[in-house]
Amino acid sequence: MKDDKGLLIVLSGPAGVGKGTVCGALRKQDSNILYSVSATTRQPRAGEIDGVNYFFKSKEEFKKMIENNRLLEWAQYVDNYYGTPLDYVEETIANGQDIILEIEVQGALKVKERYPEGVFIFLMPPSLAELRSRIVGRGTETEDLINKRMTVARAELDMMENYHYVVENDKVDLAVERIRSIVTAEHCKKDRLIDKYKQLAEVE
């Protein structure tokens, strides 16, 4: 028996570990997992649709969301704001669908403070050498920036203890299989099902 509520799945890990690739592959395999749509104050780019790519907000609207505590987490980059709307997450979960939030480690810890009942998964590289190789392979960053990212990555690995699960991203298909197993197990947890079973017992 599956519980009626969906799950908030938070996938995070060091930059370069492959969060986006794993998240995309997971969603292709499991249509019940929706991607968390972020809110932003930046202008829509060509082809972007409000409510699909982002929830496009004015700065005044976004600041009201902050003031009213309606964001799971938020940050400001350059001159724009980005954040995860709490209403969208709660409505999706209430409708019985799982929702996945792909986010950096610091943001994930903020989400855990607001929504501790979420499922927090740390995506782990096979090794720091492999992580560095993946970042170098992007071909978009200087040696100095790569070294800074590796320093941050080492610090982020120490934060692993704040997560419920650790999944090694050695191969994308294997990482996706592990995450799907975690989601299945979470839906079978006693704490998520006990109220439903009690209701059945009362009916009988």
| pLDDT at 204 exceeding the cut of 70 | no
The third-level CATH classification (topology) of the domain covering 8-36+97-203 is Rossmann fold (3.40.50)
pLDDT digits (tens, 9 = 90+) for 39-62: 999 999 889 999 988 999 999 999
Average pLDDT, the chain: 89
pTM of the predicted model as reported, rounded to 2 decimal places: 0.82
pLDDT digits (tens, 9 = 90+) for 73-119: 998 877 899 999 999 999 999 999 999 999 888 889 889 998 999 99
- In sign, the C-alpha dihedral spanning 151, 153, 157, 160 is positive
Domain ranges of the chain: 8-36+97-203
3-state helix, strand, coil in the chain (%, to 5): 50, 20, 30
Residue pair 9/49 in contact by the 8 Å Cβ criterion: no
| pLDDT at 172 exceeding the cut of 90 | yes
